[in-house]
């Protein structure tokens, strides 16, 4: 849900510099010269300017900062702290690098693999998490995390192919699966949504209901959306399905951190889930949806640009679709026509047809192929 638009109080009307100055001049006695460039006019004009700036900008900013729905930055952090929340930090991408080489070769914790620098972009570095040896098969699967937090650490398979410094005994390097889970620092809009949810639930008991599990999961860095399936294997069981802050399926690192945060198997004092509850944390089954359409475009736009914008817009829509348990054909059409540069479309197909696509409880829609012509 978008934050409400700020509406200035009615008493702010007529508080511009010219109006304020006119009121000041009108209050002068009739026998005082009030012509422009006269002493009274010149003497009062700076005061009118200062008062207008105070009212139109500084006071307006102060009003915004007083309310979570309009506050930003560190001031929004203060509102978050009042309801027991903190802004989620940027998260490091993580995954597995596979190396081949001589059996017994050790790759130590802290060693750096990287995506090569290309086209002026700096190399992206990944740090080995634990000491790992190449086994008898001549390979080793090595857990790594990005040195720098953020989405730039999310890379496709076969991207990590070099070492920062050479190790004798390594003959090949790659990541056979994408490196995922890198997210940016929580935005003001997302933090406000959590503050609003917390305020809406103020006074409710915290006994492990659906909203509790959702709130707990979404407090963990890197989590964007948590979907809760109660009693998924009978009474006392709950399943939490996680998407990261990029709107994609959470990786194993994030899943493990959420489980640790809610269940805390090593420290019952920190446990949030009720004693006796069986909690499962997982990623959704991806419901891949393919799209095709013919476009009529404004001058200066091309199908490739529209495809990129369409994918981004659908990613936002999927959260709404999940709540309704269906991707609606008419909503897909509305998303398409709402993209800048699109005049009209025809021949729209969703998974080859023109029907709604149902979403099961443990599924989350993802965009497959997009064919625009």
Return the number of other C-beta atoms located less than 10 Å from residue 315's C-beta. 15
β-pair type (170-174, 132-133): unpaired
Q: Which residues of the chain, if any, have pLDDT below 70?
A: 1, 201-207
The first and second tokens of residue 255, run together, are: 């899943």
Query: Three-state SS for 10?
Result: helix
pTM: 0.70
Contact 154, 178 (CB under 8 A): yes
Q: What is the DSSP string of 206-218?
A: -SS-HHHHHHHHH
pLDDT at residue 106, as a whole number:
96
Residues with Cβ < 8 Å from 33, sequence gap 6 or more? 39, 40, 41
Gap between the Cα atoms of 42 and 58, Å rounded:
24
Q: What letter does residue 125 receive in the DSSP assignment? A: E
* Per-residue pLDDT tens over the stretch 121-180: 899 999 999 999 999 999 999 999 999 999 999 999 999 999 999 999 999 999 999 999
pLDDT at residue 1, as a whole number:
63
Strand boundaries in the chain, DSSP class E: 94-101, 106-107, 112-115, 124-128, 132-133, 139-146, 162-163, 170-174, 223-230, 237-244, 278-282, 285-297, 326-327, 342-350, 357-358, 363-372
Q: What is the DSSP string of 323-360?
A: HHTEE-HHHHHHHHHTSTTEEEEEEEEETTBSS-EE--
Residues with Cβ < 8 Å from 373, sequence gap 6 or more? 292, 293, 294, 295, 303
pLDDT at residue 205, as a whole number:
55
């Amino acid at each position: 849900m978008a934050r409400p638009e700020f509406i200035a109080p009615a008493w702010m009307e007529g508080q511009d510099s010219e109006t304020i100055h006119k009121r000041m001049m009108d209050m002068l006695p009739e026998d005082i010269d009030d012509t422009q460039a006269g002493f009274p006019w010149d003497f009062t004009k700076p005061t009118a300017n200062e008062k207008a700036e105070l009212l139109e900008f500084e006071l307006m900013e102060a009003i915004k900062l007083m309310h979570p729905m309009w506050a930003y930055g560190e001031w929004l952090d203060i509102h978050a702290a009042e309801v027991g929340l903190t802004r989620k930090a940027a998260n490091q991408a993580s995954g597995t690098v596979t190396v081949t080489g001589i059996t017994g070769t050790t790759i130590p914790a802290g060693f750096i693999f990287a995506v090569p620098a290309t086209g002026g972009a700096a190399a992206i570095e990944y740090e080995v998490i634990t000491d790992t040896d190449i086994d008898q098969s001549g390979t080793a699967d090595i857990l790594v995390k990005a040195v720098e937090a953020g989405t730039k650490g999310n890379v496709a398979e076969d991207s990590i192919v070099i070492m920062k410094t050479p190790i004798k005994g390594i003959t090949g390097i790659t990541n056979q699966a994408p490196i995922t889970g890198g997210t940016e620092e929580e935005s003001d809009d997302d933090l406000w949504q959590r503050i609003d949810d917390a305020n809406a639930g103020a006074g409710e008991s915290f006994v492990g209901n659906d909203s509790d599990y959702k709130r707990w999961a979404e407090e963990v860095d890197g989590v964007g959306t948590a979907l809760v399936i109660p009693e998924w294997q009978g009474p006392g069981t709950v399943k939490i399905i996680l998407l990261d802050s990029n709107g994609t399926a959470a990786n194993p690192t994030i899943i493990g951190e959420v489980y640790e945060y809610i269940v805390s198997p090593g420290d019952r004092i920190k446990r949030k889930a009720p004693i006796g509850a069986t909690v499962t944390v997982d990623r959704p089954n991806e419901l891949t949806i393919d799209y095709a359409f013919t476009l009529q475009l404004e001058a200066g736009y091309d199908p490739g640009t529209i495809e990129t914008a369409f994918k981004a817009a659908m990613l936002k829509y999927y959260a709404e679709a999940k709540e309704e348990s269906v991707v609606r054909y008419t909503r897909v059409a509305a998303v398409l026509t709402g993209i800048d540069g699109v005049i009209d479309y025809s021949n729209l197909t969703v998974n080859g047809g023109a029907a709604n696509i149902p979403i099961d409880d443990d599924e989350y829609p993802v965009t497959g192929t997009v064919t625009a012509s």
